[in-house]
Amino acid sequence: MSMDVGGKGGGVKSDINVTPLVDIVLVLLIIFIVITPAVNAAVKLPLSKHSQKQGVEQGAKYLNLMLGRDHEKSKDGLVVPGFVQLDDENAKREGKGVRGWDMTTDEGRAALVKYIKASTDLLSDRRVFVKADADLPYKHVDQLFQICREGGADEASIVTSEDKAKEEKK
């Protein structure tokens, strides 16, 4: 606190001197700037290298589709999608696994939308799982996702396989 020496005011001046406060804040700021990189480098968190497997309920049924490439039409670096097929062991055993839809034509697309609509209406979980050829451009997989959405699926997901080369090294 300071005193007013001039004779008129005649009292104590109650202004706060902020200079020491600013000095302390600047010193603390410098300390935190210096310490922060050291703290970040010292904390090591173990991160998983593989994503956790999605828990599937016992007895739950989902619509599984496969999208491969057409090997006959795929030439000179141009990859053409093949037929969309069912990926269901029971359907394959009963001889229904050969069913396929050509999503590049309007008729095939409409038939696939109709099938997805009929299938997802029967399921409690309206998810569609898609297995796609790794060489297939993503735009074709995205087209299949849009068809699934048109067919009433709540969610469409890509099914991937784990990297077996990494598992063999362990």
The one-digit pLDDT tens for each residue of the chain (170 residues) are: 555 555 566 678 788 889 999 999 999 999 999 888 776 665 554 544 444 444 445 555 778 888 887 767 777 767 778 888 877 666 555 555 456 888 888 898 898 889 888 888 888 778 888 888 877 888 888 888 889 889 888 888 888 766 555 555 55
Residue 89 belongs to a domain: yes
* Domain count along the chain: 2
Q: Which amino acid is at 63?
A: L
Residue 54 belongs to a domain: no
User: What distance in Å separates the CA atoms of residue 87 and residue 73, rounded to the nearest whole number?
Assistant: 23
- State the DSSP code for 49: S
User: What distance in Å separates the CA atoms of residue 108 and residue 110, rounded to the nearest whole number?
Assistant: 5
Which pLDDT value is given to residue 56?
46
For 60: left if phi > 0, alpha if psi spans -120 to 50, otherwise beta; the answer is: beta
Look up residue 160 and give its two tokens.
Answer: 């991937």
Same domain? 68 vs 133:
yes
User: What distance in Å separates the CA atoms of residue 149 and residue 128, rounded to the nearest whole number?
Assistant: 9
Residue 76 belongs to a domain: yes
Same domain? 7 vs 90:
no
Residue span of the structural domain in which 143 resides? 63-165
Same domain? 20 vs 82:
no
User: What distance in Å separates the CA atoms of residue 119 and residue 151, rounded to the nearest whole number?
Assistant: 9
Which pLDDT value is given to residue 140?
83
Residue 55 belongs to a domain: no
Collapsing DSSP to helix, strand or coil, 13 comes out as strand
Minimal CA–CA distance to 106: which of 65, 149, 143?
143
